[in-house]
Structures are given as structure tokens and as C-alpha cells.
């Protein structure tokens, strides 16, 4: 009886070891071009929660050894909010720090001009100046609704 149990355990152990070699390698390493995206791609800022909002810009690809300057623009055609009237941003670029996956774009609402119309700010990522980092096509736009 004991030899049957030992043989069964040995057989099952051999079977488990043999089958583990049949599973595909699911570890994937992204090797495409460096990209940036918004994560999330939309949100709402209530003035009762403060008048600043930081939109997250995420790196798609491995961390880099040096800071990366990421350019963006305000999409005036699709925004109902007007820069200087409803909101302000500092410049048209943000820094993705070395060895990091995230940067932020800070939008500061001008509280006294935010009303029930709920103006929307639309920001579009442009990538960097050298073209080494591009904006991910499906996630390059961020919409921020400003609420009183």
C-alpha cells in the first residue's frame, strides 16, 4: 500500500513539472516607442474641493534616466472654458522626472468665474520636442469640467 502511495506522489509530481513547461510565457516587456497618456482622461473639479486640479500624465514604456519635458496645448476649439477667464495653467510643458512614470499638469480655476454653465477645459498632449516621446493616440486628450 505504501509503495502505491509513493508511486502516485512521484507520478503526480512528475506530471506537475512536465505540465508547467507547456504554459506560455506571459511576461511581456513593452518595446515600442515611448508614449505618454492621460490617466484618467476626464474628471470634474468642484470649487468646494479647492480650485486646483492636477491631471496625471503617464509614461508608456520603461523609466528613463533623465527628465523628459512633455509638451501640451489647450484645445480651444473643444474647450468651453477660456484661459485667463475660467482657468490658468503654467506654461505649455510639464516635466516627467527621471526614473518615474508620472507627471502632472496643474489647472487652477478662477473661482469667481465658475458658474452653473460648468465650463470644460480640454488639454492635448503633444509629446516632446525631439519626437522621442509621442502622445498615445487614444489617450492624448483630457477634459476637466469646472463646477461651482
Q: Express each pLDDT in 84-133 by its tens digit.
A: 999 999 999 999 999 999 999 999 999 999 999 999 999 999 999 999 99
Rounded Cα distance, 134 and 124, in Å: 12
Cell numbers describing residue 61:
514604456
In total, the chain counts a number of residues equal to 148
Cell numbers describing residue 147:
463646477
Q: What's the pLDDT at 49?
A: 84
Structural domains of the chain sorted by starting position, each given as residue range(s) with its CATH number in brackets = 34-147 (2.60.40.2030)
Rounded Cα distance, 78 and 83, in Å: 13
Overall pTM > 0.85 = no
Q: What is the mean pLDDT of the chain?
A: 90
Going by pLDDT thresholds of 50, 70 and 90, the confidence category of residue 66 is: very high
Residue 107 · residue 87 · CB < 8 Å:
yes
pLDDT beyond 90 at 63:
yes
Amino acid at each position: 500500500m505504501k509503495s502505491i502511495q509513493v508511486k502516485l506522489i512521484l507520478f503526480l509530481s512528475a506530471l506537475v513539472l512536465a505540465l508547467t513547461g507547456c504554459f506560455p510565457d506571459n511576461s511581456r516587456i513593452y518595446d515600442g516607442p515611448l508614449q505618454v497618456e492621460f490617466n484618467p482622461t476626464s474628471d470634474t473639479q468642484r470649487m468646494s474641493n479647492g480650485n486646483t486640479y492636477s491631471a496625471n500624465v503617464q509614461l508608456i514604456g520603461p523609466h528613463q534616466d533623465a527628465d523628459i519635458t512633455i509638451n501640451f496645448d489647450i484645445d480651444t476649439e473643444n474647450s468651453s472654458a477660456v484661459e485667463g477667464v475660467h482657468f490658468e495653467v503654467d506654461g505649455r510643458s510639464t516635466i516627467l522626472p527621471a526614473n518615474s512614470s508620472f507627471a502632472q499638469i496643474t489647472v487652477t480655476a478662477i473661482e469667481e468665474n465658475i458658474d452653473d454653465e460648468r465650463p470644460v477645459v480640454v488639454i492635448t498632449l503633444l509629446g516632446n520636442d525631439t519626437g522621442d516621446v509621442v502622445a498615445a493616440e487614444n489617450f492624448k486628450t483630457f477634459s476637466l469640467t469646472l463646477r461651482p
